[in-house]
Amino acid sequence: MKITNTNNHAKDVASTSNNNYVAIMAGGVGSRFWPMSTSAYPKQFLDVLSTGKTLLQETYNRYLGMIPNENIYVVTNKEYVDIVHEQLPFLPKENIIGEVARKNTAPCVAYIASRLHKLNPDANLVIAPSDHLITDVTTFQKDCQQALDYTAQHNAFVTLGIKPTSPNTGYGYIQHEKLADQNLYFVNRFTEKPEQQDAIKYLAEGNYLWNAGIFIWKAKDIITAFRSHCPNLYEAFHSIQDYYFTPQEDFYVAEVFYNCESISIDYAIMEHAQNVCVIPASFSWSDLGTWNSAWENSIKDENQNAIDGKYSIALNAKGCTIRSNEDKLVVVGGVEDLIIINTKDALLVCKKENEQEIKYFSQQARQQFPLLAV
């Protein structure tokens, strides 16, 4: 899939904000979207909603409208670097950073912040997941720009919180308190995925937001936070900063990644920091974490079936997700609320209510049939 280069407009928009950067996190394996998403080609590189663009391409385009192309970085696994370059051909190759080991988000942030701070001491950075669905791009950019403007002027971390529409137990929550600025609130605490009764309580209280994992801060401020709250990661990347932008960089960064702890930015920094604010997002959002979330955001037929496949049909079927990327006739009849995913390597059929078990299904498939590409 190719995308058009709209960079001329983006450069005009961002000409007065060249201190703004974005690091798109694109190293996950997307196991809950198996079997279409595999470890060799995970969901961020797929056109999950049949829009003509992959999730990574959609994410890149959202930021290209407000941040210069040369200030957009993608942090991914080393085995996906060529895929990123193929899907984002206008992005400078040196802006695609391939990690040698999956160590969660904190090491990624520590590295990219340290590297950008050496490049530009005034770097103002967005940390962005690569696999979210955001359809109202204009409003999204407005909220992001407010966050960047605020962090440029304050020693603060800003996150974008999503107004909850249900007591969902699949998301972390952010409790906010008094107003810090227009539509920007001080954060009281971060809460991990709650039990159902707690999620119902949060929704009723009205000052909780879903944690979308989008963070904004100055590079120097997050580096200071690592020094205070996660000194091992701070020391690891601080010790090799003289090698950034040299031929030796990859060697020393790989050594750090192999030896550093695996920890999320939420645990490492956000749950300890005192200078965190949140903007209640004005845009519609989905993290597209599961096949059911894809079904919710897909075009459906009169029987609420989301069908994507050249030769796929549903007969007397209701509420199903039917996906096939093969030139093979797929007929689904007389069933309700199923997830049916057909690829060249695997066929998955399960109840929608059991979608949280898909990761387990894929693990069992690989254990029992290790020679198959699943």
| pLDDT tens-digit series, residues 7-19 | 444 444 334 469 9
Residue 325 has pLDDT above 90, yes or no: no
327 lies in a domain? yes
The answer on 363 and 244 residing in a single domain is: no
For residue range 177-235, what is the model confidence (pLDDT) as tens digits? 888 788 899 999 998 888 999 999 999 999 999 999 999 999 999 999 999 999 999 99
Which of 280, 309, 330 is at the close of a domain? Answer: 280
239 lies in a domain? yes
pLDDT of residue 5: 47
The answer on 266 and 166 residing in a single domain is: yes
CATH label of the domain that carries residue 118 = 3.90.550.10
Looking at the DSSP bridge assignments, the partners of residue 208 are 175
122 lies in a domain? yes
The answer on 240 and 315 residing in a single domain is: no
Residue type, 90: F
Which of 280, 308, 343 is at the close of a domain? Answer: 280
For residue range 133-182, what is the model confidence (pLDDT) as tens digits? 998 999 999 999 999 999 999 999 999 999 998 898 888 999 998 887 88
Give dist(CA 235, CA 17) in Å, integer: 30
Phi, psi of 169 (to 5 degrees): -95, 5
The answer on 296 and 276 residing in a single domain is: no
Which of 280, 313, 341 is at the close of a domain? Answer: 280
The answer on 352 and 251 residing in a single domain is: no
Give dist(CA 373, CA 310) in Å, integer: 23
The answer on 299 and 263 residing in a single domain is: no
pLDDT of residue 15: 40
pLDDT of residue 310: 87
Q: Is 356 exposed, middle or buried (0-12, 13-18, 19+ CB in 10 A)?
A: exposed
**Domain encompassing residue 171:** 7-280
The conformational region for residue 301 under phi > 0 = left, psi -120 to 50 = alpha, else beta, is beta
Residue 315 has pLDDT above 90, yes or no: yes
Total domains present in the chain: 2
How far does the chain reach from its first CA to its final CA, in angstroms? 23
The conformational region for residue 123 under phi > 0 = left, psi -120 to 50 = alpha, else beta, is beta
Return the percentage of the chain with pLDDT > 90, whole number: 81
For residue range 93-125, what is the model confidence (pLDDT) as tens digits? 999 999 999 999 999 999 999 999 999 999 999
SS3 label, residue 82: helix
Q: Which two tokens stand for residue 144?
A: 């992001």
